[in-house]
Amino acid sequence: MRAIARPRRSLFGDEGRLTPYLYLLPHAILFFMFVIYPIFKGFWVSLTEWNMFFNEGTFVGLANYARLFNPESIQNAYYWQALKATLLFVVISVPPLVLISLGLAVLVTGNLPWRSFFRTIYFMPTALTISVVAVMWRWIFQGDVGFANWILRTLGSDAIPWLTTQPYAWISILIATVWWTVGWNMILLVSGLNAIPHEQYEAATIDGANSWKSFLYITLPNLRPILLFIVITTVIASFNLFGQPQLMTGGGPSRSTFTVMFYIYGEAFGNFRMGSSAAMSYVTAVIMLVATLTQARLFSAKDQDS
């Protein structure tokens, strides 16, 4: 029997072999220009003593990385001090950012009157830029004329030096950050709550479960994928803390709020050591990657246990 010849597909056209790749090409070009190329270019810069004025550098190998682990170098002292401050902020900021957003999501998803109004109010701060948020909260926590101290004086209490002493400097930054970003996590959790089948709650009610048990055994397990995403993105965002300490405390008092991103920025555009700052960026990126993978592993282990 004569074999039936299959029609050859053209390269272009509605069913062309290259047509799907042509649709992907614009995104691929932008992805290469703004993600892939900067990653490799930044790593090359970290291996050089880069002159940002002439846009060229002298290859020094791993010398910039070695300074970070050399106890006698100034980069070692300041970088790890800044990293400790950043890790402290991650520890104190992630729990309230997750828990408060979860509580708000539960409130605005229930039978609360004007639910849409409260969702909008809580989400509105996320539309502001960090400069607006930081300047506004810096005015609120000003020592002499700040709104917070005005309230304290009205109530008969002493004024608090919010931005110039610890732990009040971290408390000020934490309050500003929670107010600014908690609405975004809330909206994500609201979408997750709306996706939970109502029949599960009805079945739990018939079995005699109260609201708290329904929350523990129905709400939280169904929200686990979204909670994993929120925890990971919140940790990454807290690692990238920059605008709040820069504009509110200036890194003080005594560099206690001088975060790692703040230091990397100063090393690059203050001291003009681009190679050193690039090396710090990649070391920080590795630490963040390890933290992200650890969180994903912990959540997957909990899924297997349950």
| Per-residue model confidence (pLDDT) at position 305 | 59
pLDDT for 106 beyond 80? yes
pLDDT for 2 beyond 60? no
pLDDT for 41 beyond 90? yes
Lowest-confidence pick of 4-8, 24-28, 100-104:
4-8
Q: What burial letters (b/e) apply to 93-109, b meaning 16+ CB within 10 Å? A: bbeebbebbbebbbebb
Task: Give me the residue label for tokens 């649709």.
Answer: 23
Q: What is the mean pLDDT of residues 208-230?
A: 89
| Per-residue model confidence (pLDDT) at position 135 | 94
The C-alpha atoms of residue 158 and residue 149 are separated, in whole angstroms, by: 8
Residue-wise DSSP of 28-42: HHHHIIIIIHHHHHH
Q: Which residues, in sequence order, are CB contacts of 257 under 8 Å at separation 6+? A: 85, 169, 170, 173, 245, 249, 251
Q: What is the mean pLDDT of residues 17-22?
A: 80
Read off the pTM. Answer: 0.88
Lowest-confidence pick of 22-31, 103-112, 161-170, 224-233:
103-112
pLDDT for 6 beyond 60? no
Would you tell me how many other CB atoms lie within 10 Å of the CB of residue 10? 12
pLDDT for 283 beyond 70? yes
Q: What is the mean pLDDT of residues 200-223?
A: 88
Q: Which domains does the chain have, with CATH numbers?
A: 20-59 (no CATH), 72-305 (1.10.3720.10)
